[in-house]
Amino acid sequence: MKQDAAAIVVGGGIVGICSALSLAERGVPVCLVDRDAPGQGASMGNAGVISPFSVVPQSLPGLWKNIPSWLIDPKGPVSVRLAYLPRFLPWALSFLANGNEAQVRRTSAAMDTLNHDNILLYRKHLDGTGEERLIRDSAYVLAYRDAAKARLDTLENDLRRASGATVEYLSAAELHRLEPALSKDYSAAILVPGQARALSPGRIGAVLAAKLRDLGGRIVQADVRALRREGEDWVVETSIGAMQAPSVVVAAGAWSRKLLEPLGLKLPLESERGYHAVFRDPGVNLNNSVMDMDLKFVASSMEMGLRAAGTAEFSGLDRPPNPKRIAALTANARRMFPDLRAGAVETWSGIRPSFPDSLPVIGRLPGLPGLIGAFGHSHWGFMMGPRTGNIVADLVTGRSPNCDLTPYGAERFSKNP
């Protein structure tokens, strides 16, 4: 079989696009394969936050105390389908075990490596496309209804400061001067300046895919069904035929697990469904990205309207979206903005790939020469995409990445299969 490229990237989310683009920028013949149009899967549906200081893992000390109330609240931030609970429980226990402070600090440092220059890298990728305006300077506003919870002396803010962030307290008056559209129910906030937001995550994906084509990269829309080794190459079996290359990058998000299990690599990758609602004619505007710290969703003004995005639903990879979760998110957004217009609302749902330690797998996959992993970025795929792409390009071209890849190695799960 004839080689189709020097490298094939499986997965057209922002991680896959950035990986293929970084390879093409180095002159490597590359082909990107995905069943969807590039950047239009889970990467399209996020809240658009681009934060160098997004270094707080999902699992934290004491988090377990909140889980019962979250689960019984139909509008709460977490939902688990009852029938899925037996399969989900081992992952959940591992997730909670990763919430000890020592591990949280190690994880935070590894998150910082992938996030600290994400704004610069996005602007570099967008440079010359004519769409540089899709990234806008911003701050992150963490809004609280209970002012007593808006504390500067927390582990989370300690982690942000360690990554170089300035963290400020906002009184109710200061918060509403900054974001007058917010409900008066919010009585305080934590402000993290020095960030950016995407005006359209999906358009950024499409623009970078177009740049990839301009640099000679190929994009093939097809279902990837299997991977197999043939001599010194890898064969990618797709719905439109087989493709071959010496290097294959697995960046297929939550579907990566299915591709790798037949090769003997079993990883605790969980599919976490998220949702968003877009209010096309909202009648209100946000100057920054705002997170409701009680309900754990983020709102941001984008070119298509006001988007509210969030929630974590664990129900399995193939389970259809839950309309109750969409309704809850929409209701929460209306609660956040009392003057939000009651016009048309567009909703969306997608799957996040999540490991229990809040870190992705990035690097050469053990026992599978030529196969490189770049998946499992959980809530941070859009932020971590550019740096992950640079690391992938280093690995494919034989360069040594300028960072320690140990925290992201698939081998870290071998002690706890």
Listed by start position, the domains of the chain span 7-44+203-266+357-413, 57-100+135-196+270-354
pLDDT at 307: 96
120 contacts: CB under 8 Å, gap ≥ 6: none
* Domain 7-44+203-266+357-413 identical in fold to domain 57-100+135-196+270-354: no
Please say if the pLDDT value at position 63 is more than 90.
no
pLDDT in tens, 161-207: 999 999 999 999 999 999 999 999 999 999 999 999 999 999 999 99
**In whole angstroms, what is the distance from residue 188 CA to residue 145 CA?**
7
Residues present in the chain in total: 417
Question: What pLDDT was estimated at residue 417?
Answer: 36
* Distance in angstroms between the alpha carbons of the first and the last residue of the chain: 36
- The rounded mean pLDDT for the chain is 94
Whether domain 7-44+203-266+357-413 has CATH 3.10.20.30:
no
Q: Which residue has the higher pLDDT, 175 or 73?
A: 175
Classify domain 57-100+135-196+270-354 at the CATH class level: alpha beta
What per-residue confidence (pLDDT) applies to 1? 61
Nearest C-alpha neighbor of 344 from the set 265, 272, 281: 281
Q: Poorest-confidence range of 31-40, 107-116, 193-202?
A: 31-40
How would residue 342 be classed by pLDDT, with cut points 50, 70 and 90? confident
Using CA atoms, how far residue 369 sits from 9, 251, 364, in Å, is 15, 16, 7
- Confidence at residue 64, expressed as pLDDT on a 0 to 100 scale: 79
- Whether the pLDDT of residue 353 is over 80: the answer is yes
Confidence of residue 139 (pLDDT cuts 50, 70, 90): very high
* pLDDT for the residue 42: 66
Mean pLDDT computed over 295-303:
95
Q: For residues 1 and 4, what is the distance between their CA atoms, to the nearest angstrom?
A: 9
Q: Does residue 43 carry a pLDDT above 80?
A: no
CA separation (Å) from 357 to 42, 111, 140, 155?
20, 11, 24, 17
> What percentage of the chain has pLDDT greater than the value 90?
85
User: How many Å is the Cα radius of gyration of the chain?
Assistant: 21
Residue 71 reports pLDDT greater than 90: no
Q: What does the pLDDT read at residue 415? A: 59
The yes-or-no verdict on residue 213 having pLDDT over 80 is yes
pLDDT at 416: 44
Instruction: Please report the pLDDT score of residue 309 as a whole number.
Output: 93
Query: Is the separation of the CB atoms in 398 and 246 below 8 Å?
Result: no
